[in-house]
Each structure stands twice: as C-alpha cells, then as structure tokens.
Structure 1
Amino acid sequence: MSLNLGNWQLDTVNGGMFRLDGGVMFGVVPQQIWKHVAIPDSKNRIQCANHCVLARDGSHTVLVDTGYGGKYALLDRKFYDMEPGEPLLEGLAQLGVLPEAVDCVVFSHLHFDHVGGSMRQDAAKRLSLTFPNAQHVVGRIEWENASSCLPELVTAYSSQEVISLRELTRLRLVEDGEEIVPGLAARLTGGHTEGHLSFMFRSNGQTACYPGDICPSTYHLRRMWHLSYDVLPLETRRNKPRLLAEAADDGWWMLWNHDPTAVVSRVNRDEKREFVAVDSSKTL
C-alpha cells in the first residue's frame, strides 16, 4: 500500500505475519462473537498482520515500528507461527530502501512485535542495530516503564532489547504532542501500555493516523473490543472512541497495524456499531 499525503509518501511494509491466541486479541469479547470476524485455527490462534509504515517526505525517511525481526528462537517462531527470515528488510528492499537510509525509527510501544526488528543477531548472538544511522524515538513514559524492571512488567518487555536500545542507539524520548520531524507528531493514548503512542502524519490539510495497538485493526472499532494485554483497559475504552471520533469527523486515514486484510481505511460513525471502516485498501 502506498498513500500520498501532501509531502508524505506512506508505504506499508510487512513486519512479519504471525498468529496470536484469539482470546488475547479480543479480551472480554466471547469467542462465540469474535469467531465470526476472525476465524481461529486448531490452536485457537488468529492471523495477525504486522504492518510497519515507511514514511518519506524528501528530507526524512521514517520507519514506524519494526515488527518482530529475525532473531527469535525456533520455539518462539513456531509458537507464534512467525514468518522465516527478516520480512521487514525484505519489504524495504522491495521499495528500494536500504536499512542505512532510515534516519528515524519511532516506536508506538516496546512489545516484541513492535521493537524486535530494530536489532539483528549474529551467529555468536551479538546484537547490532538494524538501522545504524537512525535516531530511535520512544515515548518517555513507555521508556520509563520498559526499563523499570518492575516485576509486574517483566514479561511485557525484553530486557535484552531495552538494554540494547539504551547502549546502541541515539535514543530520543518524547512527550505527548511533541513533533518528531516536521509533519509527524506523537500522541499519548495509553491504554495498551501506560505510555503507548499513536502517530499523526499531517500535510496540506490532510491527516493519517497510525493508532498502534489502542486500535490494532478494523475488528477493534467498538469500545469493548480490545486486547487482553491492555494494562489500562479503561483508558483504552475512553481514549479509543475519542481518537476514532476525530478520525471520522475530520476524514483521517487510519493505518492499521495488525489487521490481516485491511491496510488503511477511513472510518465513519455508525449508530449500531459505533464506528465502521470505509474506503479500505486491502492486502493479502
């Protein structure tokens, strides 16, 4: 998918398809309901995309999230049915973009499927930066939680990746509303994690929003449909409808992260279903 938004060219790049338990993806929604929109396999897993976004404006080459990368062990890859190799780098190569050309990597949050592709691992298990010339941008609250070593968060974040981001990158911490580069701003949405960010691309009166995991797909447009991983579900239920209402009223494009069929959509208000996706660009 390629979307021209004023000065921005936005391209979706595959960060690696995978499967995740349906109960994880839909939280309190019963399987008897969610199975009608996402068909589970024999292990109760549903297909999830991992759409990263490559954004270019002639001055900057920005990558939003990095997928899970190629360094996970075989058991992990089997558990999540991850794609082999390094899908993100393969996708960038198809667009003619070398890793060295990316000058800014921004993370919605630091879970494995969003940050894993930021590092590569050699045969001796030594880590190196996938994007060696890029500034790496994380929300301040997200970074504080990920690096806190709090016992209740220890399984949410990889200490190896957090340490590597600290030691190997030009790390920049940003606040709610801060402009990262001209025409790209961070928006604190919380919910999924306390410091979860969405990203707003704006140019020539147009807006495209990457909501990240506060609304990971067109299946999650209803207030109560959200991931069981959300650490602050009440925030998700408050902030997601606010974001979607702005998108509907102002005609934003929404860049879905985990939707296995829709890459980008607009959204409309709907009396029965709260919001619906329209004008979707499909994948697969």
Structure 2
Amino acid sequence: MSLNLGNWQLDTVNGGMFRLDGGVMFGVVPQQIWKHVALPDAQNRILCANHCVLARDGKHTVLVDTGYGGKYAPLDRKFYDMEPGDPLATSLAKLGVATEEVDFVVFSHLHFDHVGGAIRHDADKQPTLSFPNAQHVVSRVEWENASSGLPELVTAYSHQDVMSLRELARLRLVEDGEEIVPGLTTRLTGGHTEGHLSFLFRSNGQTACYPGDICPSTYHLRRMWHLSYDVFPLDTRRNKPQLLADAAEGQWWMLWNHDPTAVISRVVSDPKREYVAIDTNKSL
C-alpha cells in the first residue's frame, strides 16, 4: 500500500505476519467481547500484521520499524506462527529497494517484533546489521530501559538484538518532538513502554501518523482497548485519546502497525464508540 503525502512517498512493507494470544492484544477486555472483532484460533491466538513503513522524499530513505526478521529458531516460529524467511527483506526487494539504500531506521520501541529485523546472522551465525549504512534512531528513554538489564525488563527486550545494536550500529537517541529529517518528527507517547514513540510525517499541510503500539490497530481505538504488555497502561489511557483527538481534528492518515486487514485510515470521533476508522485502505 502506497500513500503520497506531499514530498513523501510512504509504502507499507511487510515485517512478517504472526499470531499472538488474544488476551495479550486486548488486555482487560474480556474474550467474549474482543472475539467479535478478532476471531481466535484453537490456541487463542489472533492474526497480527507487522506493517513497517518505507518513507522516501527524494533525499532520504527511512524505514520505520523492522519486523521480527529471519533469524528466529523453528520453535519460536511455530509458537508465533511466523512467516518463513525474512519477510521484510523480501518486501523491500519487491519494491526494488536494496538494504544499503536505507539511511535511517527509526524504532517506535525495541520489542522483538519491531527490532528483530534490524539484525541478521551472517554465514558464520554472527550478528550483523541488516541496514549497514543507516543511522538507527530510538528514544533515549527506550534505549536506557532496553539496555539497562533491569530484572523486571529482561523478558521485554531481546538482549542479543539490543547489544548488537550497541556494538554495530550508528545510534541516535532522540527526545519528544525532535525532527529526525525534515518533515519527520517524534511524539513520545509512553504507555506501551516508557519511551515509546509515534512518528509524524508532514508535507504540504498534510500529516500521516505511525502510532506504533500505543494504538496498534483499528481494534484499539477505544481508551480501554490496549495490550496487556503495556508497561504503563494509565499513560496509554491518557495519551492515546489525545493522539486520536489530534488525528481526527487534523484529518491525519493513520498507518496501522498490527492491524491484519486495515493498513491506512483516517479517524473521526464517535459519540458511542469514542473513535472510528474511515477511508480505510485494506490489505486483505
């Protein structure tokens, strides 16, 4: 799916479909309610997309998140029902984009399904950068938490991926509201993780927002519908409605990360359902 936004061409690229426990995706929402929007399989898993974004303005080639990559072991792949191979590399190749052309990789946060594709294994099974010429951009708070080794965060982050980025990548740590390149700025939302970022692309009076996991799909437009993985759920419940209010007022395009059918939508306020998606471009 492609969106032309002034100087920006925004292409959705597949970081790898997978399945995740429905209770993880919907937190406190009972299954009797969420199963009407996302049908679980026999293992209570629901289908999740991994829509990364390739953004090009003629000067920069920016990749937003990297999916889970191609290096996971067979048991992990079976558990999450991951696609074979390296879906992101395949998707970029279909667009005619070489990995060496990407000059910025920006992360909403550093969970496995967003950072895994940034590191691959070479022929000797050693970690190497998937995008060797890119500056890798992450929020300062997110990086400090992911690399801290704190016991309460150990299972949230892939130690191998984080340490490989530390050793191999040109890292840039950013703050709330920082401009990465002209027309691309950060918005610190927190909630899902303390340092979680959304990204705003702006050009010619138009805006497209990649909300990341603060609002991963059109299923999550209500305040209380959020992931059980959210480390700071109260911040999600405060900050997500404000992001959606700004999106509705500004008529932003929303680039959904984990929605298995919707890729791009606008949102409008609704008196009964808080917010609803309109003008949706679907992937299936």
TM-score using structure 2 length: 0.99
Q: Which residue of 1 aligns with 2:187?
A: 187
Do residues 251 (structure 1) and 251 (structure 2) align?
yes
TM-score using structure 1 length: 0.99
Superposed CA offset, 1:218-244 (max 9, x none) = 000000000000000000000000000
Q: Which residue of 2 aligns with 1:279?
A: 279
Do residues 63 (structure 1) and 75 (structure 2) align?
no
Backbone CA RMSD of aligned residues:
0.5
Instruction: Give the whole-Å Cα distance in 2 for the aligned partners of 1:92 and 1:72.
Output: 20
Instruction: Give the whole-Å Cα distance in 2 for the aligned partners of 1:194 and 1:221.
Output: 20
Amino acid paired to 2:179:
E
Q: Which residue of 1 aligns with 2:133?
A: 133
Paired residues, number: 284
Q: 5+ unaligned residues in a row in structure 1: which ranges?
A: none
Amino acid paired to 1:212:
G
Q: CA deviation at 1:123?
A: 4.4
Instruction: Give the whole-Å Cα distance in 1 for the aligned partners of 2:123 and 2:272.
Output: 54
User: For residues 136-147 of structure 1, what are the structure 2 equivalents within 5 Å?
Assistant: 136-147=136-147
> Secondary structure of 1:176's match?
coil
User: For residues 39-50 of structure 1, what are the structure 2 equivalents within 5 Å?
Assistant: 39-50=39-50
Instruction: Give the whole-Å Cα distance in 2 for the aligned partners of 1:178 and 1:6.
Output: 20
Q: Which residue of 2 aligns with 1:51?
A: 51
Q: Which residue of 1 aligns with 2:169?
A: 169
Q: CA deviation at 1:96?
A: 0.6
Instruction: Give the whole-Å Cα distance in 2 for the aligned partners of 1:67 and 1:18.
Output: 10
Do residues 5 (structure 1) and 10 (structure 2) align?
no
Q: 5+ unaligned residues in a row in structure 2: which ranges?
A: none
Q: CA deviation at 1:191?
A: 0.1
Q: Which residue of 2 aligns with 1:72?
A: 72
Amino acid paired to 1:46:
I
Q: CA deviation at 1:124?
A: 3.1
> Secondary structure of 1:54's match?
strand
Do residues 262 (structure 1) and 262 (structure 2) align?
yes
Instruction: Give the whole-Å Cα distance in 2 for the aligned partners of 1:147 and 1:267.
Output: 35
Instruction: Give the whole-Å Cα distance in 2 for the aligned partners of 1:116 and 1:159.
Output: 11
